[in-house]
Amino acid sequence: MTDIYDVLVVGAGHAGIHITSELAARGFDGRVGVIEAEVELPYERPPLTKGFLDGSVRADQLRFPGRFWDQSLFCSIMGEQVVAIDPERRIVTSSTAAMYGYRTLVWAAGGHARRLGIDSENAAGVHGLRSLAEAEYLKKQMHGSGRYMILGGGFIGLEAAAALRRAGVEVTVVEFADRLLARVTCPVVSDYFLQLHRREGVDVRLGSRAVRVETTDGVASGVVLQDGEVLAADGVLVAVGLAPNVGPLSDAGAICSNGVEVNEFGATSLPGVYAVGDCAFFPLAFPPFGRLRLESVQNAVDQAKNLAAALATGTFRPYRSLPWFWSNQYATKFKTVGVCQGYDQAIVRGDAARGSFAVVYLSGDRVVAVDAINSMRDYAGGRSLIGARVNVAAVADPAISLASLGGVSTSRTRAPGLAGA
Amino acid sequence: MTVATRAGVPGIIGECGGEMSCATCHVHIDTDHFPPPSLDETDLLEVVDERADNSRLSCQLELTEATGDLVIQVPQEA
């Protein structure tokens, strides 16, 4: 006889753990189960590339507090991965061949680090940076005499580069595109981060590609670039993005493209199967609209809470949280709100050379996103502008606060009497 | 903030882990025993619901022996 769960959650990352906690907070009294491939108790990931590496956050401080993991509220199945879904019988099969039944399946399996597919990429000393185990490994390698090769100039690679430099490690970043962070921001911001890392002593190679890992006695000792240059290294971090974990969903017939497609309520094309977090390709409620997949804690947590509220109450509401994201590198605090896509104009506020500025992304006179670099004021002001129409001429003037440009405000600030309305 | 999230106080989410990025740990405090908010904190407080003169981001409030007794209110969740 197969165990049947009213809600079966696949994955105990930020998305999965907020499904269970929100169900519990709302008094959901059905049977809830969580299947997680890792054996570690659930932990927070953002500090893995920040405070955990620099030593200001310890591993035990990363754990989600007990209320997120209260065994009286749900059943956890650790160290097992879902490998198949039978959508008609509503049964999943795990990597240990165990079978679990569900009434509602919530897929929160996130993703795995992409690989480059180059020779000797599986050698010892080559690793990614997604899990606590990988962060602990990297931390052990951080000492003043080492040389690290980071393949990929996105947020993970750059945050790791900053932490390694702070520990005195020599760092080279190899990025295939002609600028850093090319997928997520505009050239002005990319250039700011390029100058920042070069000032801190990072050897940044743009428009460059590793074609092979060099090994000595089976251990990585360097990489070979496409022009034949050989760069020696004591370790190689591959940080070239995330591939969504949706194989079993796709095999079961769920419509998948860039992740698994869900509607505004988080439902996949399979009955009773929902998806949240990094693997969900969802309709954005803000410009530029259309579907997208977001890899962020904010999105994972907010989608999970929205879906769990629906499962607990039976009332489904469209997901419409404002996307935001942050990254800390050296003393620089980067914050972005909205989605930096589909814009036709990027207006810089302030002076990038002075290290505190913002970029407002516009489609016509409508704000689609704001990047703020060491400028909390513009981040805070920008939050109220996403989707709003503004006087474009005033945007470039840093003396005029962004918060004042909104006109009819979409601001979250409401009169107390209207809270929750 | 850490005390509140560990204890499961509703309305204190601490989504960014205390990095002064998300404003999901907003509280009202009844004491001036904490150092005043930084400019960044003041700016970020502009985005919260129920902003008041005694609004703070609890991730910026470090409890010490000198803090003494205090009453912290969590604004009603939006």
pLDDT digits (tens, 9 = 90+) for A117-134: 999 999 999 999 999 999
Q: What is the mean pLDDT of residues A174-189?
A: 97
- Say whether pLDDT at A416 is over 80: no
* Dist CA A230 CA A66 (whole Å): 49
Is there a contact between A67 and B8 if contact means CB atoms under 8 Å apart?
A: yes
**pLDDT for res A66:** 67
β-strand pairing of A126-127 with A75-78: unpaired
Q: Which of A58, A317, A376, A405 should we substitute to test contact with B (largest number of B Cβ atoms within 10 Å)?
A: A376
Percent of chain A topping pLDDT 90: 79
Contact A333/B at CB under 8 A: yes
Q: What is the mean pLDDT of residues A208-235?
A: 96
**pLDDT for res A417:** 29
The helix (run of H) or strand (run of E) holding residue A371 is: strand A366-373
Chain B residue closest to A375 (CA)? B40
* Phi, psi torsion values for A56, nearest 5 degrees: -80, -15
A338-358 pLDDT tens trace? 999 999 999 999 988 899 999
Chain B residue closest to A302 (CA)? B15
CA A239 and chain centroid, separation:
13
How many angstroms away from the CA of A349 is the closest CA of chain B? Answer: 16
Which residues of B lie closer than 8 Å to A, measured between beta carbons? Answer: 5-8, 10, 13, 15-17, 19-22, 39-40, 43-51, 75-78
Percent of chain A topping pLDDT 70: 95
Pick A44's closest partner by Cβ from B17, B22, B78: B17
**pLDDT for res A419:** 29
**pLDDT for res A274:** 98
Chain A residue closest to B40 (CA)? A376
Is there a contact between B21 and A420 if contact means CB atoms under 8 Å apart?
A: no
| Partners of residue A333 in chain B, C-beta under 8 Å | 21
**Mean of per-residue pLDDT scores for chain A:** 91
Residue B21's identity, in one-letter code, is S
* Contact present, A303 and A282 (Cβ < 8 Å): yes
Angle between helices A187-199 and A155-166 (to 10 degrees): 20
Residue A193's identity, in one-letter code, is F
Grade residue A67 by pLDDT with cuts at 50, 70 and 90: low
B13-67 pLDDT tens trace? 887 778 787 888 999 998 778 899 998 899 889 888 888 999 999 999 988 888 8
| Higher pLDDT pick, A71 / A189 | A189
- Say whether pLDDT at A420 is over 70: no
Chain A residue closest to B23 (CA)? A380
**pLDDT for res A109:** 97
Is there a contact between A416 and B6 if contact means CB atoms under 8 Å apart?
A: no
**pLDDT for res A115:** 95
pTM of the model: 0.90
